[in-house]
Amino acid sequence: MARDEQFKQEVLRLAGQEVLTCIQCGTCSASCPTAHLMNPSIRKLIKFCLEGKKEEALHNETLWLCTSCLLCTVRCPRGIRPKAVVSALKDIAERAGLRSKDAAYEQFFLKQIKDFGRIAELALTAEFLLVFPQGAVQSMQMGLELLPKGKIGLKIERIKGRDEVKRIVEELRKE
């Protein structure tokens, strides 16, 4: 696979130039709560980015197994933010129109923020189940638990500053 320098620079721009100083020590992978399920590991993902291996970096399950817990980030001895690298890759993948259940979940989430200003969990779940019906069992279990407790918000909240929020999402994403 050819080295994609432009891709590498885009990752550095989004996640920080310090990614260049990675020594591949693997502290990030060793800290990650879902490392055992990841292939490539988070360490290797960063290596792919530095080598400009776009395909390998973008098309994997690793990105979507990150829980955003930031343990990699507080532990990295080089002051790199591995989670920010993951976020950068997700952002690049989503903008390139990647289709997957995980990317869809993020897209629905952002769309709700853009349209309403807040998240309506019920509508978000319903929308997600349309693309990923396998999630129905879990959602039913959760619904049966939460509904009698009055903890499922049925109303979609719309804030007044929706135009401003829309501008934040659309304009800042272009930067």
Partner 1 sequence: MKLAYYPGCVSLSTGKEMDASTRAVSAALGIELVELPDWNCCGATHVSNELVATGLAARNMAQTDLPIMTACSICYSNLRAAAQRLEEHEIREKVNAVLDRKYSSARIRHALDVILEALTEGDERIVVPLKELKVAPYYGCLLTRPKGVYSPQFPTILEELIKRLQAEPVDFRLKTACCGGPIFMPQEKAAEDIAFKILAEAKKAGAEVIVTVCPLCHLMLDAKQKVLEQKHGVRIGIPVLYVTQLAGIALGLGPEELGLDMNSVSPVAMMEGVYERTAEGF
Contact residues for partner 1 (CB under 8 A)? Answer: 14, 33-34, 37, 64-71, 73-75, 84, 87-88, 90-91, 94, 101-102, 105-106, 109-110, 112-113, 117-122, 125, 128, 132, 135, 138, 141-142, 145-146, 149-153, 155, 157, 159-161, 164-165, 167-169, 171-173, 175
Distance CA 148, CA 79 (A): 46
DSSP letter assigned to residue 39: S
Nearest to 113 by CA among 173, 77, 165, 175: 165
Distance CA 27, CA 83 (A): 13
Distance CA 4, CA 1 (A): 9
Q: Which is nearer to partner 1, 2 or 154 (CB)?
A: 154
The residue to which tokens 């080598």 are assigned = 51
Total count of residues recorded for the chain = 175
CB of 118 to partner 1, least distance (A): 5
Amino acid at site 49? C
CB of 11 to partner 1, least distance (A): 12
CB of 20 to partner 1, least distance (A): 18
Q: Which is nearer to partner 1, 28 or 84 (CB)?
A: 84
CB of 125 to partner 1, least distance (A): 7
